[in-house]
Amino acid sequence: MDSHFKKRVLLVTLTQIAILVLSFFFYKKITLLSYINISFYMTATFLLLSLLLYTIQSGFYDAIGKSFNLVFSKDRKRKFTEIPSLSEMVTIDKRPLFFHGLVTGLFMLISLVAYYV
């Protein structure tokens, strides 16, 4: 088996264990409804973080980031073009967060179907 695939399976397993632990921590028991609730928050967190990284890396916040950097800089002779853009500085890969958000969301949807059927 590919080591990349093993790492993904391990991280999905750890995410599911974290959901069960958080379910027990917040609800004092592990039920299907508590699993659905916690996995919803985990899915939303993963997907929203991946979308935030996508918008940052697309250059949407570059002008705002450069402007704040220019205004709060101690060096007043600095030019706007010399300031590195935010999309160049944020190099985190958004695909793993998106993948884990989709997988966790899929497990949540399966649990929702099992709960209502």
What pLDDT is stored for residue 92 in this prediction? Answer: 92
Query: What does the chain come to in residues?
Result: 117
Its sign, for the CA torsion 46, 47, 50, 55, is negative
pLDDT in tens, 104-115: 999 999 999 999
CA distance 4 to 22: 27
pLDDT in tens, 32-43: 999 999 999 999
pLDDT in tens, 58-99: 999 998 988 888 888 777 777 877 888 889 998 999 999 999
The residue type of 78 is R
CA distance 92 to 84: 16
Residue 40: CA count within 13 A, CB half-sphere: 9
What pLDDT is stored for residue 41 in this prediction? Answer: 96
Report CA 54 to chain centroid distance, whole Å: 11
pLDDT in tens, 3-40: 889 999 999 999 999 999 999 999 999 999 999 999 99
What pLDDT is stored for residue 68 in this prediction? Answer: 87
What pLDDT is stored for residue 45 in this prediction? Answer: 97
What pLDDT is stored for residue 94 in this prediction? Answer: 94
